[in-house]
């Protein structure tokens, strides 16, 4: 499992933009900047849609004021779902990042198998990444939501 002080694993994501699907690397996302990355088990799910993502939407300006260059929401969904969810949540200041096959979450050691309920998903977590290095990491126990909340992460930046 990934730890504070580790480098973010190299990965390439497919991101849906106005001009189509583009490939974005972890270097593009994390180098030469400070990023808050939070992961949710699934787009459009209750806690994720009612509390987790909305907290970051509401507090985005406060993160930026504390020197955060980018806020990323990660889920094991496809890029089309992540774009639609971001639009539905007015997440204009948040990068909605799809880990379509869950391989990035697996590389972090933060994937979980929910079986027939939903298959491979992200464990709920949040981290601060500075120039590619993980400088803060909060991992939620099963069925919990507190440590990875925007309110808590704001105290760590």
Of 16, 29, 35, 48, which one is the catalytic site residue? 48
How far, in Å, CA of 129 to CA of 87, rounded?
Answer: 25
**CA angle (145 as vertex; 141, 29 as ends), nearest 5:** 90
Q: Is-contact 71 57, C-beta < 8 A? A: no
Q: Is-contact 157 66, C-beta < 8 A? A: yes
Q: Would you call 48 a catalytic residue per the annotation?
A: yes
Active site residues: 48
């Amino acid at each position: 499992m990934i730890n504070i002080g580790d480098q973010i694993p190299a990965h390439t994501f497919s991101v849906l933009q106005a001009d189509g699907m583009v490939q974005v690397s972890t270097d593009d996302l994390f180098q030469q900047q400070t990023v808050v990355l939070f992961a949710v088990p699934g787009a459009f799910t209750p806690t994720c849609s009612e509390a987790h993502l909305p907290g970051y939407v509401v507090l985005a300006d406060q993160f930026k004021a504390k020197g955060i260059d980018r806020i990323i929401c990660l889920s094991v969904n496809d890029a089309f779902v992540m774009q639609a969810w971001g639009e539905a949540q007015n997440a204009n200041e948040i990068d909605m990042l799809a880990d379509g096959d869950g391989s990035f979450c697996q590389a972090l050691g933060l994937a979980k198998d929910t079986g027939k309920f939903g298959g491979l998903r992200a464990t709920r977590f949040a981290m601060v990444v500075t120039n590619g290095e993980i400088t803060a990491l909060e991992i939620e126990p099963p069925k919990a939501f507190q440590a990875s909340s925007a309110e808590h992460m704001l105290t760590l930046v």
